[in-house]
């Protein structure tokens, strides 16, 4: 669809104002919010990701594209909220210590909220102490960790290790995700699940809370 391509192109260019307008227009054309997200906004970020990797763009361009992506996400967020589902669970989520990437985590939070889950977003650079304090304070059903760097994914293991006792006492489950994460890494660090994207995270949590 032409408008989705234009959204992707303008995320890539970092033109926040145009992204906002295009997203509003796409919604008024009754294009599903999830489609705008996945085939428009995320597509644009994907292109920036490849260019960043190939040294065709640098951090300033990536930051400007991030801002444009977030501007679009703010517009679609209310449209993603469907009727509250019968699934009730409290989820605490954060990007692990040392890692500042938060776009993917925010998408996951938005998708979970749209399913009626209660989400507490601890933000970025979240230490194991902060996760633990939050478990004791909030009694969540699920802890979700996100990491985008191969250097920070190992911190997830530190969190699952310190959580081993409390996980059992509080009956909390741990899920992980982010570009470098795999199911085998999740198994290795004894996480209860891995989700490659937001939609999968929703299904994974529905299954975990049934158990
Ligand atoms: Co960064 N960065 N970055 N960066 N950055 C990557 C991740 C990189 C792959 C780029 C590259 O080289 N190709 C590379 C990592 C290489 C590696 O570790 N192997 C990289 C690097 C190297 C760096 C710096 C070290 C660069 C530097 O300073 N020299 C630095 C590190 C800073 C730090 O964190 N300490 C850095 C900085 C930045 C910016 C600040 C400029 C910016 C982040 C802005 C922000 O997030 N507010 C940025 C960005 C934007 C990227 C890329 C281009 C895009 C990431 C993104 O938002 N993708 C990225 C390249 C890439 O991934 N292709 C890159 C879109 C998003 C929708 O996808 O985040 O994968 P994603 O989320 C998905 C799934 O992964 C999953 O669902 C999401 C939705 O579908 N998911 C979960 C994510 N979390 C989940 C949690 C779950 C379940 C699913 O359950 C809890």
CA of 167 to the centre of ligand 1 (A): 28
Q: CA-CA distance, 152 to 37, in Å (whole number)? A: 26
pLDDT in tens, the chain (211 residues): 899 999 999 999 999 999 999 999 999 999 999 999 999 999 999 999 999 999 999 999 999 999 999 999 999 998 886 655 666 899 999 999 999 999 999 999 999 998 889 999 999 999 999 999 999 999 999 999 999 999 999 999 999 999 988 887 889 999 999 999 999 999 999 999 999 999 999 999 999 998 7
Cβ-contact 27, 75 below 8 angstroms = yes
Beta-bridge partners for 92: 120, 143
Dihedral (Cα; 62, 65, 66, 71), 10-degree rounding: 170
For residue 92, what are its two tokens?
A: 């605490």
Predicted model pTM: 0.94
Q: Pick the atom of ligand 1 nearest to 180's CA.
A: 19
Ligand 1 mutation target, pool 35, 101, 107, most atoms within 8 A of CB: 101
Q: Which residues have C-beta atoms less than 6 Å from ligand 1?
A: 42, 45, 48-49, 52-53, 59, 62-63, 66, 93, 98-105, 107-108, 144-146, 148-151, 175-180, 195, 197-198, 201
């Amino acid at each position: 669809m032409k408008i989705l391509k234009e959204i992707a192109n303008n995320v890539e260019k970092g033109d926040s104002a145009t992204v906002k307008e295009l997203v509003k227009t796409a919604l008024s054309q009754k294009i599903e919010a999830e489609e705008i997200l996945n085939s428009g906004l995320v597509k644009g970020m994907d292109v920036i990701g490849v260019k960043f990797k190939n040294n065709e763009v640098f951090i300033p361009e990536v930051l400007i594209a991030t801002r444009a992506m977030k501007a679009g996400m703010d517009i679609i967020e209310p449209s993603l909220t469907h009727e509250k589902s019968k699934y009730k669970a409290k989820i605490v989520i954060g990007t692990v210590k040392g890692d500042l990437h938060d776009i993917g985590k925010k998408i996951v939070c938005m998708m979970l909220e749209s399913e009626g889950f209660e989400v507490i977003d601890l933000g970025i650079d979240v230490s194991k102490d902060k996760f633990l304090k939050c478990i004791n304070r909030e009694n969540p059903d699920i802890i979700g960790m996100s990491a985008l760097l191969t250097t920070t994914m190992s911190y997830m293991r530190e969190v699952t290790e310190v959580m081993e006792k409390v996980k059992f006492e509080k009956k909390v489950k741990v899920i992980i995700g982010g570009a470098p994460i795999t199911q085998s890494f999740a198994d290795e660090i004894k996480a209860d699940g891995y989700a490659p994207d937001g939609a999968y995270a929703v299904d994974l949590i529905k299954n975990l809370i049934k158990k």
